[in-house]
Amino acid sequence: MLPTSIRAAGLLHRSSLASASPAIRATVTGARSFHACSCRLRAADPPSAPTSPSGPAAPGTMQSSAVPSTKIGRFVQYGGLAVKLGAGAIGESLSRMAGTSKPVIEGASPFLTPENVQRIVTTLTQMRGAALKLGQMISIQDSGVFPKEIEEVLVRVQNGANYMPRRQMKQVMANELGRDWQSKFKHFDPVPFAAASIGQVHRATLHDGTTVAVKVQYPGVADSIESDLAHLRSIAILSGFLPKGLYLDNSVAVAKRELLWETDYMREAAWLAAFRAVDLPGDVFDVPRPIMDLCTPRVLTMEFVNGVPLGKVADMSQETRDWVAAHLMRLTLHELFTLGFMQTDPNWSNFLYDPHAHRLRLLDFGSTRAFGATFLQHYANVLEAAANQDAAGVMHWSEKLGFLTGYEAPAMRDAHVAAVLTLGEPFAAGQEMYDFTHARDVTHKIRDLIPTMLEHRLSPPPDETYSLHRKVSGLFLLCTRLQARVPCRQLLLEAIEEFRARGETLIQLPEGVVPSPLEEVGVTCASA
């Protein structure tokens, strides 16, 4: 049930089993110091081309460009994009009539051309917010869905995030912290060292000497989420850009909810406090302290932490790689079955390794969400059945959880069970350590099942699994990148056993840390 590579994540996105594949943002760093946020591109030296923990990024530089901050301004941009896409489609249609077209996909919509994809990427990069976020979600799809030419352009969505001009940044800071905001810092670097889909990050120093990172949200992003997603939905339907079998409306609804969470920096500060208030496994994790006096819904200030991005760990010893991967696997299961809430953004920059202190630092809690006990009970049963290669158990608990309706055709049910059992192989009996160098084999097995599941799926996956499987797929991709050996079965069964020993109850957060987290996310689950 757990995706074992980013390819598997993309494939399962379109099966009845897994969530919509979100973007695992290729995080970029050029220094050992990295900030607690969803950092994507290092901007301390804008002319330099960024690099990614997972390999070199696409050539390019960070640029300063104003963010359209009003609904009218954003509507104009989307309207212009629609016109350009239409013109491109007309040109492609004429080329096809003349016999001079060289389509990248035979029989595809005339909207689906490399030129139109380039237009979409350019607009998403400028608009940021929901536009860039959804573009990143699309860009993670498996190569079997998009041809190589389009996939290469989509990668630029992950690597493209401009930062706002200094004038715009100062206006946001003044609106949030007051016109005298600069007096609250001993030093504030006006050039961001990172930029992402929702905000950019600056390094600063407080008057007491504390080095902090200040995440500043792009203006208009939070207020335009619903309209942005509506425009993007229309463009996606018009262009035929998305693959068949994708539950677009459900994906958009989930994206809207998660974007609303991520644009509320006070919510993120509260989750930071929550993670600092609980015991994390192994005594190896650190969570930066939010500076609450300098936090608002649009500005988040926290301790600046040091470490190397996990992509760099791939160059370290096998022992170190195994240690990092095993602790992150343990943390993920602890979040799920002990805490009942999880930081779900799989961006590798959200986890730093300090080789000197031999510790892991956890960053960016904007996408944290809680899970209901009933959902977790059923989910644990599905995982256990998959680990034990129990086909009947997988079928039964998949229906309870809501992955299947019970009315699917036999071909769909067989494909679903085969996919879950395949994805349970890392947790199967008979192996003390799972070697993630074999994880890509799982992807190839799943790929053959996708056409059947696309054709016969009757319902989208449970909403909870969109963010959950985003985290898990990112973790498995990381373990594969590190070529780590992890005692997956032992860690899973221990986590489930402890969960059940507590009567399948979750820990209680200190009162007032995060108000009503389950009520906040509207957790639902198929009835038992």
| Amino acid present at 526 | A
Query: What count of other Cβ atoms lies within 10 Å of the Cβ of residue 58?
Result: 16
| Distance of alpha carbon 27 from alpha carbon 351, whole angstroms | 11
| Distance of alpha carbon 258 from alpha carbon 269, whole angstroms | 16
142 catalytically annotated: no
Contact criterion met (CB below 8 Å) for 71 and 80: no
- Which two tokens mark 61? 């530089």
Query: What count of other Cβ atoms lies within 10 Å of the Cβ of residue 517?
Result: 20
Q: Distance of alpha carbon 250 from its chain centroid, rounded?
A: 17
Per DSSP, helices labelled H in 161-264 are 166-177, 225-239, 248-262
Residue with structure tokens 């850009």?
Answer: 241
Closest CA to 74 of 223, 206, 203: 223
Give the Å distances, CA to CA, from 80 to 75, 83, 294. 8, 5, 38
Residue from 142, 228, 345, 463 carrying the catalytic annotation: 345
Sign of CA dihedral 28, 33, 38, 43: negative
- Which two tokens mark 56? 């070199």
Closest CA to 131 of 252, 261, 293: 252
| Amino acid present at 384 | E
Contact criterion met (CB below 8 Å) for 416 and 1: no
The secondary structure of 33-92 as a DSSP string is EE-SS---EE-SSTTSPPEETTEEPPS----B-PPP-SHHHHHHHHHHHHHHHHHHHHHH
| Distance of alpha carbon 518 from alpha carbon 369, whole angstroms | 8
Long-range pairs for 237-241 at CB < 8 Å and ≥24 separation? 238/82, 238/85, 238/111, 239/85, 239/89, 239/109, 239/111, 239/112, 239/116, 239/120, 240/108, 240/109, 240/111, 240/112, 241/109, 241/111, 241/112, 241/117, 241/120, 241/138
| Distance of alpha carbon 330 from alpha carbon 336, whole angstroms | 10
Residue with structure tokens 């192996």?
Answer: 431
Residue with structure tokens 């049930």?
Answer: 1
Give the Å distances, CA to CA, from 234 to 80, 237, 241, 248. 13, 5, 11, 11
Active centre residues (catalytic)? 345
